[in-house]
Structure 1
């Protein structure tokens, strides 16, 4: 039995059957009763694909990431997928790392889904504007406000200022920002701007090839191996920071006695590093979950309360910056 048989038996359109079964739109009481009676008589078991076809929908969301490696992206994706699953939607993931013709890939994905989530500056702005103008429900994570899309990001600047102020309180005077930003206005750029506002010319940006342990290790070896190096290394994320700690150890330097190191994100490895990593905790899984709910609201036609949302972050002080909290955390 198909949704078409149910519609014929009830004397209604397949779209009405779909709305009655999913509760996604107004259906008069007597009409709903006719649909449910037809479902029972025909012993109809609705399939997601059939109902979505009747509604002109795909029952799938798309999400575009720069890559899928590392704990940060994993946590965001878990939060997103958990909520999407609760809402009855499958998820099609596009990772752009190492891919050619990104514009065409994103456009092709947009034609297969009911709505799209894009992470950071992964997709060129002109393509974002094109998708928004087409009416496709669109949510941007870690992105500045943009017309036609809901934007979500974690707070960066205030926590970066708090971290820099804390390090000044320890008496450090020479700083490096390891993992300098690639794009103006992205999360790492906002962290850099916050740190720079407090430390001024006392902090030097140092670019890494990527935001990874390996890239942090490679850049920190050069940075810490040179004479007159920094007293404190503020890292763009925890993975870069863990690489910096490995580099310091390789060079025979003690963290934090010879050089302080801080990170950002509060991934699990940050809590169990030796020394435990001072960092800024951001709600990675909640970021993904909020994105999934915001997109579902857009798809359902019930616009969100506001177009730009900022999730709060928290400075977490541990041993790697020279502070030894009670209990050795």
Structure 2
């Protein structure tokens, strides 16, 4: 049994691109070659749904999405809007590849095959704890959001996380803050690694020493931001400003500051990341880094479509620019 398109290509003595064209119903492949490829597809029992589809010369025009954050998550909801725009323009349908458990026996490839998708978007996973080797080595085009994978027929897209956080630190430094803290997301995630690197770089550029006690671990949620801010407030010399790895963490931090009898931005400045819809409605309105989530969603589908239609394309790496949105949650540092 063949596990990927390369097995069929080797058996038939043709290129991977030729096998892909036959399976997708391209008319540029001569009949003799087509018959030979289909012979080995049948003998090797390779992706019968794909092979049956190729016989009638039609594509499924369906893209799948794997995610762990849930469809209702505010960050993903905006990405989905951009994805829908591009899906409509390209003529694709989208299917949510839900799975209750991502255990050791789970196969991303088999799930894709069972749903007959032409490509997949992967979002909300950590490379360190999830094995994507089988998917990357398969012939299935894939685009990863916020996960640095660029290999085979898999590419990725993300915001300029490091540069964005550097700009956030520079803004707080202009407000004369010298005691700057950072509330992290998941410390092993791609985005948090880059945002924390930007935080450290921003401090260095501003001539502000890094203090280990001013880094509080969170997990992108409001509850974690609240608990992290409580730990920072309990320090003998608390910070005067905090950069949060997400808007939800920032909202939790503001809640902790208020419960401690202090105010934002008079006593503490709080800066978020994402610019979810709620950021403009909380009080005080949240100063934050705006990710262009609609652009991310649109571009991830455009890049995936390019991988689907051109087997020779190098896997893309797209970085989307961000914007610092200044509202009311940051103010000048008090004089010591």
> TM-score, normalized by length of structure 1?
0.75
Offset at residue 287 of structure 1 (A): 0.5
| Residue pair 1:173, 1:202 contacting (<8 A) in 2 also | no
Aligned position for 2:171: 166
Which of 246, 260, 267 aligns to 1:258? It is 267
1:154 aligns with 2:159: yes
Show CA shifts across 1:145-164 (max 9, x none).
42122221111111211111
Aligned position for 1:30: none
Which of 218, 221, 225 aligns to 2:230? It is 221
1:238 aligns with 2:247: yes
CA distance in 1 between counterparts of 2:137 and 2:306 reads 18
Between 194-203 and 251-260, the greater mean CA deviation after superposition: 194-203
Aligned position for 1:70: 73
Aligned position for 1:298: 307
CA distance in 1 between counterparts of 2:283 and 2:63 reads 40
Offset at residue 125 of structure 1 (A): 8.0
1:283 aligns with 2:298: no
The number of equivalent residue pairs is 279
CA distance in 2 between counterparts of 1:73 and 1:205 reads 26
Aligned position for 1:8: none
C-alpha RMSD of the superposition: 2.9
Which of 244, 256, 263 aligns to 1:247? It is 256
| Residue pair 1:218, 1:247 contacting (<8 A) in 2 also | yes
Aligned position for 2:135: 131
| Residue pair 1:64, 1:122 contacting (<8 A) in 2 also | no
CA distance in 2 between counterparts of 1:254 and 1:320 reads 10
Question: 1:11-90 alignment to 2 at 5 Å?
Answer: 54-55=56-57, 57-68=59-70, 69-90=72-93
CA distance in 2 between counterparts of 1:53 and 1:90 reads 21
Secondary structure at 1:158 match in 2: helix
1:207 aligns with 2:209: no
Secondary structure at 1:264 match in 2: strand
The structure-2 alpha-carbon separation of the partners of 1:224 and 1:310, relative to structure 1 and needing over 3 Å to count, comes to: same
CA distance in 2 between counterparts of 1:214 and 1:85 reads 37
Show CA shifts across 1:181-207 (max 9, x none).
4216x1121111011122241463211
| Residue pair 1:180, 1:189 contacting (<8 A) in 2 also | no
- Structure 2 unaligned runs (5+)? 1-20, 30-51, 204-208
Secondary structure at 1:320 match in 2: coil
Secondary structure at 1:152 match in 2: strand
Aligned position for 1:327: none
Question: 1:304-323 alignment to 2 at 5 Å?
Answer: 307-322=316-331
- Structure 1 unaligned runs (5+)? 1-14, 28-49, 324-329
Offset at residue 313 of structure 1 (A): 0.8
Between 215-224 and 131-140, the greater mean CA deviation after superposition: 215-224
Show CA shifts across 1:206-225 (max 9, x none).
111x3112221232233324
> TM-score, normalized by length of structure 2?
0.73
